[in-house]
């Protein structure tokens, strides 16, 4: 059950309370700086973030929802969610891009279905916590793994990264990717397979 509130969700900002080490490698990330300012209700920062992200999010919602009008409505909803929850963004847990992406994904799912995505909630009596005793240690490990993931993705050849983006971000089928990119369906499939294989090797992911 939700309760109406005239105020936005409580802010973590300002001032940021994250240890410097956790944020150092993302300190130069412009989106992180923008989110910090948005958390302080800076409309100018929100405008900049909007300009930086509108294209990607608009294409994302259009590809997932189909109709332009619904997609535009959902894109607006995503930006509203970013504005309202920027204060809860924790750079120790995810990059700004990943955080914005999860907001966009959930907004699209909410738009597509009458029933929301199933809840994962740490307050659930059945929740099994991570075995790590120290939350800080766990975050450090997560940060290292996240850096490794990003490095593996950055090293993918452009053609392979493109098919993965179209498949997992825009949710296009192999046929749609082939038509859009002007390549045979077989090439799309082989690029996807090669890209996933590279990521599996780099990150020791298990086989599908």
Partner 1 sequence: MSPTHHLPQGWIMAWASGTLPPAHEILAATHLTLCPHCRARVAQAEEAIGALIERETCDVEPPEGALDALLARLDEPVAVATPELDGTTDPSGILPLPLAQLTGPFHEIRWRWVAPKVKGIKLDVPTIGLPLRLIKIRAGHRLPIHDHDGPERAIVLRGGWRDQTGHYRRGDACFVSEDMQGHEQVMDDDTDCIAIVLNDTPIKARNSILRLAASILKV
Site size for partner 1 (CB under 8 A): 77
Stretch near partner 1 under the rule CB under 8 A, chosen from 17-25, 96-104, 174-182, 183-191: 96-104
The CB-of-2 to partner 1 minimum distance in angstroms stands at 4
Task: Check binding of 88 to partner 1 (CB under 8 A).
Answer: yes
CB nearer partner 1, residue 47 or residue 175: 47
Q: 35: part of which helix (H) or strand (E)?
A: helix 30-39
**How far is 69 from 177, CA to CA, in rounded Å?**
23
Q: Does residue 13 sit in helix, strand or coil?
A: coil
Q: Tokens 């909630």, residue?
A: 121
**How far is 47 from 35, CA to CA, in rounded Å?**
11
Distances (CA, A) of 69 to 52, 61, 82, 140, 145: 21, 10, 20, 42, 39
Residues 140-179 that bind partner 1 (CB under 8 A): 142, 145-146, 149-150, 152-154, 158, 161, 164-165, 168-169, 171
Binder of partner 1 out of 46, 178, 188, 191 (CB under 8 A): 46
150 CB neighbour count, 10 Å cutoff: 14
Task: Check binding of 97 to partner 1 (CB under 8 A).
Answer: yes
Binder of partner 1 out of 15, 20, 28, 127 (CB under 8 A): 127
**How far is 24 from 5, CA to CA, in rounded Å?**
35
The answer to whether the bond into 15 is cis (omega within 30° of 0) is yes
Q: How many residues does the chain have?
A: 208
Binder of partner 1 out of 5, 20, 28, 133 (CB under 8 A): 5
Residues 98-117 that bind partner 1 (CB under 8 A): 98-99, 101-102, 105-106, 108-109, 113, 115, 117
The CB-of-174 to partner 1 minimum distance in angstroms stands at 14
The CB-of-21 to partner 1 minimum distance in angstroms stands at 19
CB nearer partner 1, residue 79 or residue 178: 79
**How far is 90 from 139, CA to CA, in rounded Å?**
11
């Amino acid at each position: 059950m939700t309760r109406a509130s005239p105020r936005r969700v409580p802010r973590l900002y300002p001032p940021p309370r994250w240890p410097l080490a956790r944020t150092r490698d993302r300190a130069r990330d412009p989106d992180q700086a923008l989110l910090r300012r948005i958390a302080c209700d800076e409309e100018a920062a929100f405008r900049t973030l909007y300009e930086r992200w509108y294209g990607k999010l608009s294409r994302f919602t259009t590809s997932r929802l189909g109709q332009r009008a619904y997609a535009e409505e959902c894109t607006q909803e995503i930006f509203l969610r970013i504005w309202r929850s920027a204060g809860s963004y924790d750079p120790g847990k995810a990059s700004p891009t990943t955080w914005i992406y999860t907001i966009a994904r959930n907004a699209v799912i909410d738009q597509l279905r009458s029933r929301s995505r199933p809840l994962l909630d740490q307050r659930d009596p059945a929740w099994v916590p991570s075995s790590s005793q120290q939350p800080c240690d766990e975050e450090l490990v997560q940060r290292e793994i996240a850096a490794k993931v990003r490095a593996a993705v950055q090293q993918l050849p452009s053609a392979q990264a493109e098919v993965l983006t179209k498949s997992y971000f825009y949710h296009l089928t192999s046929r749609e990717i082939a038509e859009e990119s002007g390549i045979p369906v077989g090439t799309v499939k082989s690029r996807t397979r090669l890209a996933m294989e590279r990521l599996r090797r780099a990150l020791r992911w298990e086989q599908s």
